[in-house]
Amino acid sequence: MKAICRVGLVAVLALAVVAAPAWAQKLTGKPVTVTGRVVDNVCVWPAGLKGESHRECAIGCDKAGVRMALLDEKANVLYTVMADAPFKDPNAPLRDHFERMVTVKGTLYTAPGGQKILAVQEVKTAQAANPCAVKNPCAAKGKAPAANPCAAKNPCGAKK
């Protein structure tokens, strides 16, 4: 019986040594710029908690060691965030931006199984779409420019 156990143990160890390189394949990344909302994985999925009202909870999750993620809601992609070097806190560059929109520059890795992993190098507050930034929203419609493109009424005149 002991001989069978030894043979089984040797077989398992040999399999682990042979298969280990497949598990630890080096991934090659590509430089990317991604815009999304910084979320914590503990509350956003099971409880649906998000937004500015959830910010304090996200800070608490960070203090408890929860790794944050970047959610690109337009593309419906969740990026797991990692540091860009060993022994660095992956949440550090995101800490001022929990539950807010950011633009992140970094390196994107796709792990076996399709998981998206983003090594963060630079984080900036994302610029929100601003309809008031348009110089003349009516020019394309052949109408005169409105005094205030952000007025509650249609700045390009009533539809006929």
On the question of pLDDT at 124 being above 90, the answer is yes
Question: What percent of the chain clears pLDDT 70, i.e. is strictly above it?
Answer: 63
pLDDT interval class at 148 (50, 70, 90): low
Rounded to 5°, the CA angle 93-109-75 comes to: 80
> What's the pLDDT score for residue 9?
45
**Global pTM value:** 0.63
Which two three-digit tokens encode residue 145?
A: 């420019």
- 143 or 35: whose pLDDT is higher? 35
Sign of the alpha-carbon dihedral angle for 149, 153, 156, 157: negative
> What's the pLDDT score for residue 67?
92
On the question of pLDDT at 157 being above 70, the answer is no
- Quick: pLDDT tens for 126-143: 976 555 555 555 555 555
- For 84-122, b/e burial (b = at least 16 CB within 10 A) is eeeeeebbebbeebbbeebebebbbbeeeeeebbbbbee
Task: For residue 147, give the H/E element and its range.
Answer: none
Does the 30-125 domain belong in CATH 2.40.360? no
- Quick: pLDDT tens for 65-116: 999 999 998 999 999 999 989 999 999 999 999 999 999 999 999 999 999 9
Which two three-digit tokens encode residue 146?
A: 């409105």
